Structure 1
Amino acid sequence: MKIAIGCDEAAYGLKLEIIRHLEDKGHTAVDFGSGEGESVLYPNVAYALAKEVAEEKFERGILLCGTGIGMAITANKVPGVRAAVCHDSYSTERSRKSNNCQIMTMGARVVGAELAKNLVDVWMESEFSGGGSQAKVDRISEIEKECR
């Protein structure tokens, strides 16, 4: 799977860990920044990555910052994107199975590298289940269109 990944300076080290982990699992990880020692405005990274995911240039995206919250807020501003903060395995799984999220966000100040890699595995192995969730995801898309 082709995965977009980006971070701010708070999560640079975690990003490198996750890139290695994804590549070890046979995925292609494309780095959207930031670079080592580079201070960035995380909304710029989140926006650039989310646009590419919305245009289906990537199957999924991973955004990392101090808490994951700001990245999720920004990514969710891009039409067609559903991003969720993923700090535990149940919510991570449900973000895919119930909400069909294409972007997961995590905070390097919240989760350690081993937990983050585990959450990435849970997220990558989970697929949207449709069923009763389909109407809810469709309604999210309708609301998004109404707000444009």
Structure 2
Amino acid sequence: MIVVGSDHGGLELKEAVKRLLAERGETFEDCGTDNGNSVDYPDFGIKVARRVSNGEAGKGILLCGTGIGMSIVANKFPRVRAALATDAFMARMAKEHNNANILVLGGRVLEEAVAREMVIAWLDGVYEGGRHQGRLDKIAALERELMK
């Protein structure tokens, strides 16, 4: 299950991402927003990141104007590795090297065609493990330390 969320700045691109997910037969749930009215990005970032963090969803996609705000809020959650990407290479590396479980996109800085390529690269990417796992283990250890 993929959970998807955006603020008003990412709404239009989120709709394009949802169309792509449907075309691919992916199971997904839209966590809002559902109109262009101004909203606070943390409200929607929290909804998505919480579900990924607690294991209700395996993956998430977040969108706001630049992606920066959503990245900040999502990475506050344990077990979340949210990656803000700007092209398909970054999206693929986010999965292959960092096992990113949330992809973050900027609705005001990406064209739809580029965003589609990015989502496909991230979804089709396979975590390589190996030398990368030790790095993720260090991050997980830091999360545990900070949660004490």
- TM norm structure 1: 0.96
Q: Using the aligned pairs only, state the percent identity.
A: 37
SS at 1:137 equivalent: helix
Offset of residue 119 of structure 1? 0.3
Tell me what 1:128 maps to.
Answer: 127
Offset of residue 110 of structure 1? 1.1
In structure 2, how many angstroms separate the alpha carbons of the residues matched to 1:91 and 1:147?
28
| 1:37 counterpart letter in structure 2 | G
In structure 2, how many angstroms separate the alpha carbons of the residues matched to 1:60 and 1:124?
9
Counterpart contact for 2:81–2:102, Cα < 8 Å: yes
Tell me what 2:110 maps to.
Answer: 111
C-alpha RMSD of the superposition: 0.9
SS at 2:38 equivalent: coil
Paired residues for 1:73-84 under 5 Å: 73-84=72-83
In structure 2, how many angstroms separate the alpha carbons of the residues matched to 1:115 and 1:129?
24
Tell me what 1:94 maps to.
Answer: 93
Paired residues for 1:16-27 under 5 Å: 16-27=15-26
Paired residues for 1:42-81 under 5 Å: 42-81=41-80
**Alpha-carbon distance change, 29 to 38 in structure 1, aligned in 2, over 3 angstroms:** farther
| 1:55 counterpart letter in structure 2 | N
Tell me what 1:30 maps to.
Answer: 29
SS at 1:26 equivalent: coil
| 2:46 counterpart letter in structure 1 | Y
Q: How many residues align?
A: 147
Q: CA-to-partner distance for each residue in 1:40-97, whole Å, 9 max, x for gaps?
A: 2101111111010111211210000000011011000011101010111221111111
In structure 2, how many angstroms separate the alpha carbons of the residues matched to 1:37 and 1:93?
30
Can you give the 5+ residue segments of structure 2 that lack an aligned partner in the other structure? none
Q: Which runs of 4+ in 1 moved over 6 A?
A: none
Can you give the 5+ residue segments of structure 1 that lack an aligned partner in the other structure? none
In structure 2, how many angstroms separate the alpha carbons of the residues matched to 1:18 and 1:118?
10
- TM norm structure 2: 0.96
| 1:139 counterpart letter in structure 2 | K
In structure 2, how many angstroms separate the alpha carbons of the residues matched to 1:108 and 1:147?
32
